[in-house]
Amino acid sequence: MESVFTSVLKYLREVYLGVKSILTSCFTALPYLFNRRSGDLHKEVTEQYPDPVSSRTADDLPSRSRGLLFNDIDRCTGCKACEEICPTKCITVENELGTEASKVWVAVFDIDMSRCMFCGLCVEVCIPQSLVHTKEYEGAAYYPRDLVISFGRGRITPEQRTKWAAIRQAKEAEETL
Amino acid sequence: MIIDRRTGSRPEHLRTDLTSWVVGPYHGALPGPMRVHLKLDGEVVVAGVVETGFLHRGLEKALELHPWRSTIPYMDHLDPESAVFGELVLCLAVEEIVGIVVPPRAQRIRVILAELTRLSCHLGFIARVARAVGSDTMLHYVLRDREKVLDLLELQTGSRASLNFLRFGGVVADVTEGFMERVHETVDMLRVRLKEYNDLFTFNRAFVKRTANVGIISSEFAKHLGISGPNARAAGLPYDVRKSYPYCGYDQLDFHIPLGKGEGGTQGDALDRFLLRLREIALGIDLLKQAVESLPRGPFWKESLMDNFEVPAGEAYVRVESPRGMLGCHLVSDGGKNPSRVQFRVPTLPLLQAVPDLLVGGRLEDLPVILASLDLGIAEADR
Amino acid sequence: MKPWMSAWDGLDVFPAGTPEWAVAASIVGFVYFFVIMPGAGFMAFLDRKISADLQARIGPNRVGLAGLFQPLADLLKLLQKEKRIVSGWREAFWLGLHTMALYSTVAVLPLGSMFLLVDTDMSAFMLFWAALILALGTMLMGLNQGSIPGWFGGIRVASQALAGAFPAMIGMICVGLRAGSFRWSAVAAAQGSSPLHWTVFSDPFQFIAFFVFLASGMVLLGISPLDGGLSVPDIHGGVSSHLYGRRLSLFRLGRFYGFFLWSEIAVVLFMGAWNLPLFVTDAIRNYSTPVALEAVELLVLLVKTGLVMLGVTWVARANPRIRADQITDMAWKVLSPLSLMALIGTTVWMIWVNH
């Protein structure tokens, strides 16, 4: 059993410590009012998003950052490695035989960005390195169908297909001669 | 008859009817979509039943449906907040089955990424506790510093949260230019900031009053339920996978596991869990400094592996220390293109089982504090 | 003629022969529309801006100069969010009654030497009337929501009002002891314009009494951070969790009024009221009208009140919220003993030191 004096002292000490700690908290936060804070570069941490003052434009992102996908169709061989490895199956590739046996006409190369998880596996397996991540990250669209990005050269008509087959056969015939 | 589990001399002991309240699945106090069925006597919780499964995505099944190499991005979503640990545990399991020896440089890069993720996860934890006790100022300060850590992850891996950076046999790429310096800079800044957190928040009596003696997990209780990680260490169990079953070269690093000391209240209460996370942040800073300074030279992955990668039939069970506790992965391969079965032992599940016992006897306002101080990852519990 | 009417007598403000009730009503209307409503908007802006600065954020910056008109924009938005206009005569009647009861306390507010409509020996106690009306109304609103958050919020508001009233009362009695009366004019006359002559610095016990008075007022009215009834993390807003539209704006105005009233009374009781230095008073009297003097007094009073409110906001933003039961605990176990200590100390000080 402690004496009344001790318990009163204890009580007063508790009150004193409480007030002191509350004041400490207040004065720790106070420098922020006057823009003096420990080792920070920016005044404010948050940004108004569409404002141009934003420090984070696409150019400021690190070189490895993975944004929307871009396919350089001139270098694409239509090998479908990306389509196979894509975990969410968001890439669709359809090939046609071109005018030469070695050249593939990539008719359809659609990437459904609404399903893409930006994992970067497709870029990793792309042997001709035609598929790359851009730093672009603003991909909002009004409709899900607008999120499908098409890089293909376009489907060909049946007449073209027969025409190209004829050219190809002619070339093959030349080579065999 | 309602039995008040606390002392009988309180005014709450007056006989009153119970109130039922279903909190969730969406509520500010909850760490994710879950539901708590509360029975309240006044403001005192007399019973709480936890209902989970709102975030079930069939992750384990999804892994069986994908070829080996496509599984890694899915592992980021086991627990999106500590993404790299999901990748790490799967990579370690596959490497054990195949028998790959990971180059030391790759191992060290993995350690750096893991510790950075642990830092960001613990900072997020502090932010959630701050929100639970209504201190928005602390919340913003912590999130600001968490951004810095996420920036580091983005610089190294190209993504802030879903890293997809680890591969079977190593990592995707070497460290980027300026990464090491940035790591040094950031952890030095964090050290300064820890002092600020303490002044503003940790030693504030109002905060101590909110968390001390709230949601006590005793060491027997932790053992009984299989609670691991910081919550078990706060209860006084010196168990850390990094020490007990070292992986990724953690045995080459010099560190001590902090334990809860019961300052301000009982050992294993919410305050202890909070303080332990602060100590783990300090430990993470130490580990990062060591790892960055002693980064070995050499290749960062097994070049020969990537073409025609095949996993022979076999089984493996590996465990890592994720920010929330022991994360285990049981992997079965039948030698096919896809994994045959993957199963995870997640650290959140025992915690969810502990929640009803922790809530009983507390007040309604303790509910957010208890849930936040347990650091539940609903995503990994429901998977 | 009442004493306060004599101050307005002979001035050009009101036409000669204006009945007393018309003057009183126009003063109350003036205070409500030109002091309280703009004050609510301005303080809401300052609160948001300063909390944003403390938290390393930007805060409102879109509407008007540096976002100054953001509260106005919010008000307009809230007003057009109402789907139903009135949901029945009972609600309209109750709301009207409650609003009238609450804002009739404007008549008691001391706002300068000429705005002393109710200047009786008990007028300082009248503020409890306002605080308790506010607490009662808030509690009923919470209980009427038919939801668990509102229910708990209402009960917490009631228990806090009960816990905070006692220390607040004792803190006020300390001032009455020093001034010798609870008459506003007497309380103001007992203090000087310089801080050295304020009640709060007149003796150490008055200093304690001031903080006890302020803190217990926060408990009584549920002002952040001691607002268990509006706690967000557990009962997502408590009493205000189901409010929207015009009701929300009215509710916020009422909350501001409580906060403003309490800070203003604290300034009048402890921080020199509206007193100006004598030479300033004389100069204005000599070179200008009494109405100008009243305007300057009002301005000084409002600036001091604003500073007190900002101080409370600062403490609220930097500190975590404590539990509702800990708030009432604090009021009974810390604030009440301290206020009694201050009362005894002040008495002893007045007898032994001042005489």
> CA C228 to CA B365: how far, in whole Å?
9
Q: B136: which chain C residues are within 8 Å (Cβ-Cβ)?
A: 51, 55, 317
Is the predicted pLDDT of residue B207 greater than 50, yes or no? Answer: yes
Closest residue in chain A to residue B189, using alpha carbons only: A39
Element (H, E) at B382: helix B378-382
Of all residues in chain B, the percent with pLDDT exceeding 90 is: 17
Q: What is the mean pLDDT of residues B139-154?
A: 88
Residue C240 lies in domain: 87-350
Residue of B nearest to A123 (CA): B172
Asked if B157 reaches chain A (Cβ–Cβ under 8 Å), the answer is yes
Burial class of residue C272, CB neighbours in 10 A (0-12, 13-18, 19+): buried
What is the DSSP track for chain A? ---HHHHHHHHHHHHHHHHHHHHHHHHHHHHHHTT--TT-S-S-SS--TTSTT-S--GGGS-TT---SEEE-TTT-----HHHHH-TT--EEEEEEE-SSSS-EEEEEEEEETTT-----HHHHH-TT--EEE-S------SSGGGGEEE-------HHHHHHHHHHHHHHHHHHH-
At B213-222, the pLDDT tens digits run: 888 888 889 8
Q: What is the pLDDT of residue C308?
A: 92
Whether C132 is covered by a domain: the verdict is yes
Over the stretch C158-195, which tens digit does the pLDDT of each residue have?
899 989 889 999 998 988 888 888 888 888 888 887 88
- Reported ipTM: the value is 0.83
Predicted TM-score (pTM) of the model is 0.87
**CB within 8 Å: B70 and A64:** no
Cβ contacts (< 8 Å) between B367 and chain C: which residues? 234
Name residue, tokens 């007898």.
C351
Residues of C with CB under 8 A from a CB of B: 51, 54-57, 148, 151-152, 225, 228, 231-236, 317-326
B59-382 CATH choice from 1.10.540.10, 3.30.470.10, 1.10.645.10, 3.90.1150.10: 1.10.645.10
How confident is the prediction for chain B on average, in pLDDT?
86
- Chains with 3+ CB–CB pairs under 8 A to B are A, C
B193: contact with A, CB 8 A cutoff: yes
Q: Are the CB atoms for B55 and B32 separated by under 8 Å?
A: yes
Q: Is C19 helix (H, G, I), strand (E, B) or coil?
A: coil
The shortest CB-CB distance from B70 to any of A38, A118, A121 is to A121
How far is B151 from A41, CA to CA, in rounded Å? Answer: 14
How much is the pLDDT for A39? Answer: 47
Measured between CA atoms, how close is C337 to chain B, in angstroms?
19
pLDDT digits (tens, 9 = 90+) for A74-133: 888 888 888 888 888 889 888 888 777 677 888 888 898 888 888 888 888 888 888 888
Interface check C57 vs A, CB under 8 A:
yes
Q: Over the stretch C305-351, which tens digit does the pLDDT of each residue have?
A: 999 999 998 888 888 888 888 899 889 988 999 999 999 998 888 88
Encode pLDDT of B214-266 as tens digits.
888 888 898 899 898 899 998 888 888 888 888 888 888 888 888 888 787 78
Instruction: Tell me which residues of chain B, numbers 122 to 141, contact chain A at a CB-CB cutoff of 8 Å.
Output: 137, 140
Q: Does A141 touch chain C (CB under 8 A)?
A: no
All residues of chain A having their beta carbon less than 8 Å from the beta carbon of residue B67 are 84-85
Residues of chain C with C-beta less than 8 angstroms from the C-beta of A10? none
Q: Chain A closest CA to B251's CA: distance in Å?
A: 31
Task: Give the pLDDT confidence score for residue C321 in this predicted structure.
Answer: 86
**B-C C-beta contacts closer than 8 Å:** 77
CA distance C321 to chain B (A): 5
Query: B172 CB near a chain A CB, below 8 Å?
Result: yes
Q: B74 contacts in A (CB within 8 Å)? A: 87
B365, C323: Cβ pair inside 8 Å?
yes
CATH of A67-176, one of 3.30.70.3270, 3.90.650.10, 3.60.10.10, 3.30.1360.170: 3.30.70.3270
Q: Is residue C152 part of a domain?
A: yes
Which among B136, B143, B208, B371 is the top mutation candidate for probing chain C, defined by the most C β-carbons within 10 Å of its own β-carbon? B136
Position C87 pLDDT exceeds 60: yes
Interface test with C, best of A4, A13, A20, A25 (most C CBs within 10 A): A25
CA distance C23 to B341: 85
Give the integer Cα–Cα distance in Å for A15 and C233: 26
- For the segment A64-80, the average pLDDT, to the nearest whole number, is 85
Closest to B240 (Cα-Cα) out of B318, B320, B316: B320
Contacts of B39 in chain C (CB under 8 A): none
**pLDDT on residue B2:** 46
Place of tokens 């599940």: B349
Contact B36, B30 (CB under 8 A): yes
Token duo for residue C212: 């006890």
The answer to whether the CB atoms of C234 and B130 lie below 8 A apart is no
Q: Number of H helices and number of E strands within chain B?
A: 14, 8
How high is the pLDDT of residue B124?
92
Which of B196, B198, B202 is the best substitution to test chain A (most A C-beta atoms within 10 A)? B196
Q: Cβ of C315 under 8 Å from any chain A Cβ? A: yes
- The Cα–Cα gap between B76 and B82 comes to 8
pLDDT at C5: 67
- Total domains in chain C come to 1
Q: What pLDDT score does B3 carry?
A: 47
Question: In the predicted model, what is the mean pLDDT of residues C127-132?
Answer: 82
Write out the two tokens for B337: 């293109």
Question: For chain B, which residues lie within 8 Å of any Cβ of chain C, measuring from their own Cβ?
Answer: 19, 21, 27-29, 43, 130-141, 144, 200-201, 204, 206-207, 209-210, 363-368
Q: Is residue C22 part of a domain?
A: no
Contacts of residue C225 in chain B, CB cutoff 8 Å?
A: 134, 206
- Find chains touching chain A: ≥3 CB pairs under 8 Å: B, C
What are the tens digits of pLDDT across the range C223-270? 888 888 788 777 877 788 878 777 788 888 888 888 998 898 899 888
Does the residue C68 lie in any domain? no
Q: Pick B140's closest partner by Cβ from C55, C152, C231.
A: C55
Asked if A133 and B158 come within 8 Å (Cβ–Cβ), the reply is yes
Note whether B231 and B273 are within 8 A (CB): yes
Task: Return left, alpha or beta for B270; rule: phi > 0 is left, psi -120 to 50 is alpha, else beta.
Answer: alpha
